[in-house]
Copies of this chain bind each other. A is one copy, B any other.
């Protein structure tokens, strides 16, 4: 199975209103709720691709129960979330039906107690032992040590499970130093980590910091992957208009699927780029338009070269 870790899970709520006018009252015309947080989005995409996935992280309170109820109805995803005392945070996305724009309200999330973090580490140690790959995704909730991802990378590497790390800021900086197999920053996260806005310079620097493979998601410029074996760029055939939320999570799912299927890097990248583009057409993160995905899979242009052995 593939193990995804979401320490800062969320119940993602989407409200549609006719038009958002600050300081007035609105009747919400449509409400949707989904398990959220980057690792849960990755898990849902992997499951939709036919992979066995186990999702861990934290869940608590009434919102955590709602999240787990919904996860239980997601075929292919095994719930291994660790219960906590605090309530799982909500995120509320208010979609303006007139303009299509979204206003986002994100709760801070519960404080994780030291005993809860210890319980998670025990659960994680058991789970990585049978994982074909591990995804560590998203921000850290309050109470979790900033070096958490570094510790989780080391635990996975100790049992030989390859690790993808997708986070930002100081947790990324520390996590990279623990030598994960793949990091998947976007342009901003990569620049923040390395101090360089030049993707060639920045990916080289991120590798020097400890990542075996750096896959930078560069928006319309597609994906740039660099490792000891080579350097590739994958660009979808056309720009797709829609909701980019979750596109990066689908790219991560594509990379993990390619990894456990032992695909060569150009094929992994084609899959990640096609999934990412097909997610832009889906209404919510963690879902993708399957027809677009299958159609784009052969059309993604992958250029690059393997390093001479």
* A residues apposed to B, CB below 8 Å: 15, 17, 20-29, 31, 61-63, 65-66, 69, 92, 94, 96, 99, 101-108
Interface of A (DSSP majority class)? mixed
Q: Chain B contacts of A92 at CB under 8 A?
A: 15, 92, 105
Kindly report how many copies of this chain are found in the complex they form together.
2
* Contact A105/B29 with A65-B62, A92-B92 known, Cβ cut-off 8 Å: no
Q: Chain B contacts of A21 at CB under 8 A?
A: 103
Closest 7 pairs between A and B when the two form their complex, measured CB to CB: A25-B104, A23-B101, A62-B66, A28-B107, A62-B62, A22-B103, A26-B105
When the two chains form their complex, are residues B62 and A103 in contact, meaning their CB atoms are under 8 A apart?
no
Q: Quick one: closest B residue to A104, CB to CB? A: B25
When the two chains form their complex, are residues A27 and B103 in contact, meaning their CB atoms are under 8 A apart?
no
Cα separation A101 to B106 with both chains bound (whole Å): 19
Give the contacting residue for A96; candidates B23, B24, B94; CB below 8 A.
B23
When the two chains form their complex, are residues A27 and B62 in contact, meaning their CB atoms are under 8 A apart?
no
Cα separation A20 to B102 with both chains bound (whole Å): 13
Shortest CB distance A22–B (Å): 5
Give the contacting residue for A94; candidates B62, B69, B99, B105; CB below 8 A.
B105
Cα separation A96 to B105 with both chains bound (whole Å): 12
Give the contacting residue for A24; candidates B17, B31, B99, B104; CB below 8 A.
B104
Q: Chain B contacts of A69 at CB under 8 A?
A: 62
Q: Quick one: closest B residue to A31, CB to CB? A: B107
Q: Chain B contacts of A107 at CB under 8 A?
A: 15, 28, 31
Q: Chain B contacts of A104 at CB under 8 A?
A: 24-26
